[in-house]
A and B are shown apart, each in its own frame.
Chain A
Amino acid sequence: MDQHNPSEFSSKAYLGMELLRFTTAGSVDDGKSTLIGRLLYDSKSIFEDQLEAVKRASVQKGSEHINLALLTDGLRAEREQGITIDVAYRYFATPRRKFIIADTPGHIQYTRNMVTGASTANAAIILIDARNGVIEQTYRHAYIASLLQIPHIIVCVNKMDLVDWKEEVYESIKAEFKAFAAKLAIHDVRFVPISALLGDNVVEPSAHMPWYGGGTLRYILEAIHIGSDYNHIDPRFPVQYVIRPESQAYHDFRGYAGRVAGGVFRKGDKVMVLPSGFSTRIQGIYAMEEELEEAFPPQSVVITLEDDLDISRGDMIVREDHVPEISQDIDIMLCWMNPRPMEVNNKYVIMHTTRQLKCLVKEIKFKVDVNTLDHIEDGTSMKMNDIALVSLRTTKPLFFDPYRTNRITGSVILVDEATNETVGAGMIV
């Protein structure tokens, strides 16, 4: 097997490469591990020693073929039981892009893991077995992708070889998915008929499906426009750390370190600092010694301001004409992630951007049946993998945007004070 073509990585070609993060969702046995193995294998991202190890393990387990799925089973228990327990991250690169796959398991604790993998993804691959068509789990995957506002969805209709490469099968699955997606906040959906096992339309175009006029899965992954995935409209800079060198060379330097969470900040911009509400101007933007004219998400920079203000971690620098919402009462779509149930009136630590506060769960407005999307108005508690619209009251005001306009300033996690475990993930409505 050839490895990367070295010329692809020659001199500074890689300086133009972008990063795309995607998550994969599929039910048990619809070929997710095989697809990932195929993407890695055909992109020449699997090394000889890894392949040797998989071959050895396949023989040991009495498998006839090289089981590419074994490449993705990381922990001893997973290999022994043949299941995936946790989100695993995989990497491959083409000359155009570097890819990070958040590979989430299809069975136990499904919702929790998919939500985790989806939280940072630019794109989601949803796998459908061509023989079974759109099934209940497909709805669940699509719903979670839309709930987490993954900007791009790619539906792979897999196992086309087992339905004789028939266009009608593909078209009817496509129509069914589209009808369902219309009910969700999904804006960019693409479809591709593939055979992960044989490699058709994964990296190489299929000779079996001349009726398909679109690109291969890898082509789609390389071509998706991700430049608009971040919010570039509403400037948000959560202060992460205050830098005060107190050295001779930088005696009066007082910089605010952080990662731009929205909009574009430019030198000289008039800005407002929350919660104080004081206004000032940006004096400088730094990436170490290098002074920048502007900064945009997800850049980590240091900002200095013209006036000496009392600013600390958890404050937020914004533009006066684009102020976020400020409130102690927020509604969130909450995904519960812990075996210990959540009860109304419980108190949790809430982490939002660089702030930590406490909050009280006031009310569960409704739960969502992730398979039917029905709203269920019951009860006062949530179990693991439940998703519900919940009202919270925080000890101090949060500065936030709705999740649909900004995934960074619109997201929170809840932490159990007794165990310190992360128990819930919330998207501000």
Chain B
Amino acid sequence: MKSYILNHLRELESEAIYVMREVAAQFENPCLLFSGGKDSIVLVHLARKAFWPSLIPFPLVHIDTGHNFEETLVFRDELVKKINGRLVVGSVQESIDTGRAKEETGYNASRNVLQTVTLLDTIEKHKFDAAIGGGRRDEEKARAKERFFSHRDEFGQWDPKNQRPELWNIFNGRKRLGEHFRVFPISNWTEMDVWQYIYLENIELPSLYYTHTREVFQRDGVWLAAAPFMMLKPEERIQTLQVRCRTIGDITCTGLTLSSADNLEDIIQEIAATRVTERGGRADDKRSEAAMEDRKKEGYF
């Protein structure tokens, strides 16, 4: 008898597409949170597959910290044009200017935490009732308990101890007015799955993921990009090195990897051989053992 088995990437793909279609069917005004990182680029790819030959039936939302790599913004705008999509930008600078958020100061100042204010304001302003994100359960231990359909109360908060049980592939997206859902279609993917899928589907990525020459400096064992708004400590020296990004976030908290990988196969080899998790380079997670959990409860991505 013929064997009907999908390989693991196709099964994960089918699951993610199923979740995307549930969002489109169950919610009135969903959106897709787009950071410019590889996970959200994969989400856009999956969304195109889910609704083809229609266009993606929801806008991309970018929470712009103002501290982006230039390449991220260029890539974002080209992608939006290519998929003939809609883009909504929430600006952290605007949240600061209007007094909704207060800029951190000091050497480790980051706008990462401030994004939550802008994100929640953007969701409220546009009355989004579901926000699709690229969070994965393998990223961080608080995420390991996250649901595909994650309920948020009217303040945008996550209550990890009171989550709805999620059984089979039946997703309960029922909610009261003012509440919303965060939805994570690639919950079950690992970093390796994402890279293998990018390779399998030949998905275009920003050049930052491949090796390039950049001015960098080292802090607490992590390589960071030099930028005008990055304050250097007296002992920190700028060097020019061959690096690439393993994840892409705000410049202030994106750790760079010393690497000469200039193609996907080499990157996959590098990930396979690597000894640190991808969030190990993220300064935002190192603030405390429960850093991610605390941010998520407040309404972070």
- Judged by a CB distance under 8 angstroms, whether B188 is at the interface is yes
Quick one: which of B229-259 are within 8 Å of A by CB? none
Minimal beta-carbon separation of A215 from chain B (angstroms): 21
Whether B7 contacts A17 by the Cβ 8 Å rule is: yes
Q: Which residue among B50, B170, B290 has the maximum number of chain A CB atoms within 10 Å of its CB?
A: B170
Q: Is residue A91 contacting chain B, with contact meaning CB distance below 8 A?
A: yes
Q: Is the C-beta of B137 less than 8 angstroms from some C-beta in chain A?
A: yes
Which residue from chain A places its CB closest to the CB of B273 in the assembled complex? A6
A115–B165 CA distance with the chains assembled, in angstroms: 9
The docked-state distance in angstroms from the alpha carbon of A119 to that of B170 is 10
Closest to A70 in B: B141
Q: Which B residues are CB-close (under 8 A) to A57?
A: 289
Per the 8 Å Cβ criterion, residues 92-151 of B in contact with A are: 137-138, 141-145
Q: Mark B169-189, 1 if CB is under 8 A from A, else 0.
A: 110101110000000000110
Q: Are the CB atoms of B172 and A89 closer together than 8 Å?
A: no
Q: For chain B residues 254-269, which have a beta carbon within 8 Å of chain A?
A: 265, 268-269
Q: Which residues of A contact B174 (CB under 8 A)?
A: 349, 415, 420
Report the minimal beta-carbon distance from A33 to chain B, rounded to whole angstroms: 13
Interface core residue of A3, A91, A297, A408 (most chain B CB under 10 Å): A91
Question: In the bound complex, do residue A250 and residue B53 qualify as a contact, i.e. CB atoms below 8 Å apart?
Answer: yes
What 0/1 pattern do residues 23 to 66 of A give for CB contact below 8 A with B? 00000000000000000000000011110010001000000000
* Minimum CB–CB distance for B82 against chain A, Å: 15
Stretch among A157-165, A241-249, A362-370 lining the B interface: A241-249
B 22-71 contacts with A by CB, 8 A: 22, 24-25, 48-55
Please tell me which stretch of B72-80, B190-198, B210-218 contacts chain A, meaning at least 4 of its Cβ atoms lie within 8 angstroms of it: B190-198
- A378 interface contact, C-beta 8 A: no
In the complex, A245 Cα to B51 Cα: how many Å?
Answer: 9
Contact indicator B142/A74 (Cβ below 8 Å): yes
Whether, in the assembled complex, A137 has its beta carbon less than 8 Å from a beta carbon of chain B, the answer is no
A240 contacts B21, CB within 8 Å? Answer: yes
Asked if A300 contacts B167 (CB within 8 A), the reply is no
**A69 in the interface, Cβ–Cβ < 8 Å?**
no
Q: Which residues from A are CB-within-8-Å of B165?
A: 112-113, 115-116, 337, 422, 425
Give me the 5 closest cross-chain CB pairs, A-B, nearest first: A49-B280, A19-B8, A300-B17, A420-B174, A119-B167
**A contact set with B: CB distance below 8 Å:** 1, 3-6, 8-11, 14-19, 47-50, 53, 57, 71-77, 79, 85-91, 93, 97-98, 100, 112-113, 115-116, 119-120, 226-227, 230, 232, 240-241, 243-245, 247, 249-250, 253, 255, 257-259, 264, 286-289, 296-300, 302, 313, 337, 349, 351-354, 407-408, 411-413, 415, 420-422, 425
* 9 A-B residue pairs with CB within 8 Å: A9-B268, A11-B265, A50-B277, A77-B161, A85-B161, A93-B192, A98-B193, A413-B172, A415-B172
